[in-house]
Structure 1
Amino acid sequence: MRIVLFIPLIFVLLSCQNQDKKTSIVHRMPSGIVQDTTNIAKDTLAMIYDSIAFSGKLGWVFSKSEFDAVFGPTIDSSISVFDDPPCNGGAFGEPNVPTDSLDHWKKNCLYLYQNESKFEQRFDSVAVENFRFSGTSFIRYKGHILNKETTVDDFAKLFPHVPIDLSDMDVYQEGTLQVLNIPTGMPLDDGHIKIFFKNGHLYMMHYWSPC
């Protein structure tokens, strides 16, 4: 898949080559030991989807007015979702567009690019597709601020029971990044959150679900 900018969900289109090539592994448990997770809190086994606050204020989906208030009303650029359709309809699912309303939908279903991040807008709703930790961009997770200064070790400390297995991934227009797939903690969820690192620091993230 490639980034033009997440994402279905939420999602970046990325090149999926070399996903199995492991380049850096930090294990919380010695190799060969199976960990009993029965009495371990689930929020240390996953990155809880609903506990992520973009810019410390917003979840994954919010209103356009909230987007304007937090990220700014003037976007860097935008294109119609219909010019680059996401898999499975993207964050909001496949649209049921009446033929006589197509032009109206094209004007109100957009990819918004702001501060190197990508969002998907459908009328008054906006979803995070690909979030880049550039400039002052950050997320708040359970009281912790994660930004471009966050290292792999910093991130690992928040998830002491999750093996931090980083793999190389060739990402469109980005080159080779290190990626970690971490569960969302949501029941019956086949997706996961992809966390990307560059030069040992947090670089971008998005939610991924199978097409």
Structure 2
Amino acid sequence: MKYFSILLLAISLYSCKEEKKEIKEEPKAISEISDSKTQSDSVNQKATQFTEVKNDIQEDDGQDEIMLEKDILFNGKLKRIFELKDFEKVFGKADSTKLMSETQPCTYIFEDTGDGKNDKYLYKNESCFENTEQKVGVNEFWFLNGNYILYKGIKIDGSSTIDDIRKIFPNSVKNISELDSPGRGKVQLIRLREDKENISDGHINIYFKNNRVQSIHWWFPC
């Protein structure tokens, strides 16, 4: 009888030990499920972020990109509109000048400023600037004799290729066109928008010659 009682006690203790073991192992299983779910959520979150970035890039798919004046520095120093006193400091003395009244352009940068009688063009290394009183604006800028622009800190000069520009304006380069231009010969051309809302009637032309950037021109219809 004594032996039977000891046997029952041993069986009871063994059962309790097994139950405790099962209880201990249960949280481990829950932890594993939790870790697995966290990893899965993390992967899904990364995939969502990637998709959102990708969709944002493709949002204006097919449209020419935007180039804002405020993001451009000519020769790394001047905005598109600057003071006359800074012209010679940065570009040197003008090669030639011409009164606008002699050409009577249908539109120009400072047409709403003053009477325009003494407004003139300033020419330097093929580039064309417009001048009214003490203000100067860039009409067309040629990448000659070391001329360059900084666009959002990226340097664009006469050695920049179409592939270089493609990295900045992929849609516009995708829509590139060719033309025979007086004084230029056969060139390639991309167009950039001046604002996101397409309020401006004009656009910005960037010309390429022999696969290299040649000039940038602000174009407006008459």
Q: TM-score, normalised by structure 1?
A: 0.70
CA 70–181 in structure 1, closer or farther in 2 if over 3 Å, else same: same
> Unaligned stretches of 5+ in structure 2?
1-52
The DSSP-based 3-state class of the residue aligned with 1:205 is: strand
* Aligned mate of 1:193, from 176, 201, 204: 204
Equivalent residue number for residue 205 of structure 1: 216
Structure ranking higher in helix proportion: 2
- In structure 1, how many angstroms separate the alpha carbons of the residues matched to 2:175 and 2:208? 12
Residue identity (%): 35
Give the 3-state SS of the residue equivalent to 1:203 in structure 2: strand
Greater RCO structure (CA 8 Å; 6+ sep): 1
Aligned length: 165
Where does residue 49 of structure 2 map in the other structure?
none
Contact map agreement 1:49 1:186 (CA 8 A) in 2: no
Query: What's the C-alpha RMSD, in Å, of the aligned pairs?
Result: 2.5
Query: For 1:129 and 1:112, how far apart are their aligned partners in 2?
Result: 10
Provide the C-alpha distance between the structure 2 equivalents of 1:62 and 1:203, rounded to a whole number of angstroms.
Answer: 23
Unmatched runs of 5 consecutive residues or more in structure 1: 1-35, 98-104
Corresponding position of 1:39:
56
Which region of structure 1 is more displaced relative to structure 2, 189-198 or 165-174? 165-174
Q: 2:166 aligns with which of 138, 141, 156?
A: 156
Give CA-to-partner distance per residue, 1:17-69, whole Å, 9 cap, x none. xxxxxxxxxxxxxxxxxxx9973499x93222320111111111111012122
Residue 165 in 1 paired to residue 184 in 2? Answer: no
Deviation at 1:209, TM superposition (A): 2.0
The code of the aligned residue for 1:68 comes to E
Q: Which amino acid aligns with 1:121?
A: N
Do 2:129 and 2:136's aligned partners in 1 also have CA atoms closer than 8 Å?
yes
Question: Does residue 150 of structure 2 align to residue 140 of structure 1?
Answer: yes
Residue in 1 that maps onto 2:101: 82
Q: Structure 2 length as normaliser, TM-score?
A: 0.67
**In 1, are the aligned partners of 2:162 and 2:173 still within 8 Å (CA)?**
no
Partner residue in 1 for 2:91: 71
Choose between structure 1 and 2: higher strand proportion.
1
CA distance, structure 1, for counterparts of residue 191 and residue 167 of structure 2: 16
Distance 1:162-1:109 versus aligned 2 partners, 3 A rule: closer
Q: Partner of 2:79 in structure 1? A: 59
Q: Do the aligned partners of 1:48 and 1:186 also contact (CA within 8 Å) in 2?
A: no
